[in-house]
Structure 1
Amino acid sequence: MLNAQRCSSNIRTRGPIAVGRQTEITEMIEGSCLCGNVRYELRGPPQSMYYCHCSMCRKATGSSFATNMLVKESDLVIIVGAHLLKAFQSSPGENRYFCSECGSPIYSKARDRENVVSIRCGTLNGDPGIRPTEHIYVASKAPWFEIRDRLPQHLGEPEL
């Protein structure tokens, strides 16, 4: 049975991203929350980007799905407002970090995903140079949303 309540705790990088869907990263990636009191930099290249349709991501973003990007934990640097980040344990071993002032979700960290964090792409200030490569947890997607692209769709988490 699929665990539609839990998102991305077992997603790991699966090697290089599909060629042709990416642009070259020439500068540091920056991001911030809605109020601007939390700002961060990604000092290394993102590993992958995906659309998540699990109910946890839908509720955390208030949208039909979340666009997430995996990066090395050591590449995420909170440059302003680290003291404003609060964590919510959404499932055992997984915390979602958000700005305590405006509520913007910034990233999540799962115990099962060592040295990797999942950035909420809606907080990016520019183009990260990669594009989503798949949809996950489509078995629990919002019933009013129809996926119209040709990216692979996985009922739960993709096989590694």
Structure 2
Amino acid sequence: MTVSAQVPRTTAWATPAFWYLLRSEAASLFGSAVSTIALPAPAVLELHATAGQVAVLAFLGQLPSMLALWAGALSDRCAKRPQLIVSDLAAAATLATVPAADLVGVLTIGQLYAVTLVLGAAKVQHDAAATFNPEDKSNEETMSTAPRPSRPDRPTGLSDRTGRDDEGLLVGTAEPEPKVRTGGCECGDTRYEVIGDPDDPHLCSCRHETRISGGPAVLWVGFRRDSLRWVGPGGEPTWYASWPTLRRGFCPRCGSQLVSVADDSEMIMVTGFSLDDCSGTDPVGHSFREEAVPWMIIDLAPDPHAAQPTATSA
């Protein structure tokens, strides 16, 4: 029997984006710890707040937690990185108004109430953006299925590779897992992962493609829309509607065109050369070929889905 070699897996510690997140979370937690002291202290020492007023401060700090459900919905629909940055900057700017107001002698308990509410809301949104993304498919199998009991000397899942289960009984061999491809823009800020085999790789020479790319054609490769997720530090791309029902995604930093998707389509098209692995993406068609420049000569690859001619006997 043949056992396939395991593919080396990159740990989070080797990913630069993980270090960015780790440092930002450390700074955010430090700021949150400071704010828990920075608000009650001036209320008592400078404003001589009563016990009831300090209790109101504590209550207002917890009140934004009621918005956690809506914060989670907003977090799932927007890029995570801007939410983390904006929430921390808003909290820092709001907290800075306390010493500024105290220096000029205009600090009031009402201002501390307002600052407490804003800090609480910023923390709720930050925590929602920093949590697990429910669209991440990497743990879907782990969450939806219970692990099979395995013998200590055999790894779980060996039956998928050998055709025998953990007790040595012959079972049907599972199909290989779909291939995961990666791709991204020129600067590396906007990156994606997509699962599956490329579908309908083709060139397009329509007016939109030639103007946007500055070239005679663009290579498009199709994948299932629900298999693509954005994994770069910049989150989702910037979207531009080149047609009422068609959107294109660009890196907001370097301008690379990465994807194109129609509103009613289950497929999403990625630019072929934004893929890190371009194998299997030789174009089998050429849209708007009649509009292509006359000096461009293209030899298309054979379409694997086209009907093959049958041999006839002489």
TM-score, length of structure 1 as denominator length: 0.70
2:252 corresponds to: 100
Q: Which residue of 2 aligns with 1:67?
A: 219
1:29 maps to 2:187? no
- Where is the helix percentage greater, Structure 1 or Structure 2? 2
Report the counterpart of residue 52 of structure 1 in structure 2.
204
For the pair 1:80 / 2:199, whether they are aligned, the reply is no
Partner of 2:139: none
For residues 301 and 288 of structure 2, what CA distance do their matches in structure 1 show?
A: 13
Matches within 5 A, 1:1-160: 27-81=179-233, 83=235, 85-112=237-264, 114-143=265-294, 145-149=295-299
Report the structure, 1 or 2, having the larger strand content. Answer: 1
Q: Deviations over 1:5-42 (max 9, x none)?
A: xxxxxxxxxxxxxxxxxxxx974211010000111111
In structure 1, C-alpha distance between the alignment counterparts of 2:221 and 2:233, rounded to whole Å = 21
Report the Cα distance in structure 2 between the residues aligned to 1:80 and 1:110, rounded to whole angstroms.
23
Q: Which amino acid aligns with 2:252?
A: S
Partner-residue secondary structure (3-state), 1:34: coil
- Kindly provide the amino acid, as one letter, of the partner of residue 140 in structure 1: E
Q: Distance in 2 between matches of 1:126 and 1:51?
A: 18
SS at match of 1:109: strand
Q: CA, structure 1 residues 150+103, in 2 after alignment: closer, same or farther (shift >3 Å)?
A: closer
**Residues 79/96 of structure 1: CA separation in 2 closer, same or farther (3 Å cut):** same
Whole-angstrom distance in 2 between the partners of 1:116 and 1:82: 23
Structure-2 change in CA distance of 1:47 and 1:150 (3 Å): closer
SS at match of 1:122: helix
Measure how far apart 1:62 and its partner are.
1.5
Identity of aligned residues (%): 25
Q: Would the alpha carbon gap of residues 147 and 33 (structure 1) be closer, same or farther in structure 2, given more than 3 Å must change?
A: same
SS for the counterpart of 1:80 is coil
**TM-score of the pair, normalised by structure 2:** 0.37
Query: In the TM superposition, what is the alpha-carbon distance from 1:150 to its structure 2 partner?
Result: 5.0
Name the count of aligned residue pairs: 126
Aligned to 1:83, what secondary structure does the other structure show?
A: coil
Distance in 2 of aligned mates of 1:42 and 1:150? 24
CA contact (8 A) 1:43 1:77 kept: no
Deviation at 1:116, TM superposition (A): 0.8
| Counterpart position of 2:47 | none
Cα deviation digits, residues 71-123 of structure 1 (max 9, x gap): 100111111145351011101111110000000001011124x2111101121
Letter matched to residue 149 of structure 1 = D
How far, CA to CA, are the matches of 1:115 and 1:82 in structure 2?
24
Distance in 1 separating the partners of 2:281 and 2:301:
14
Larger Rg: 2
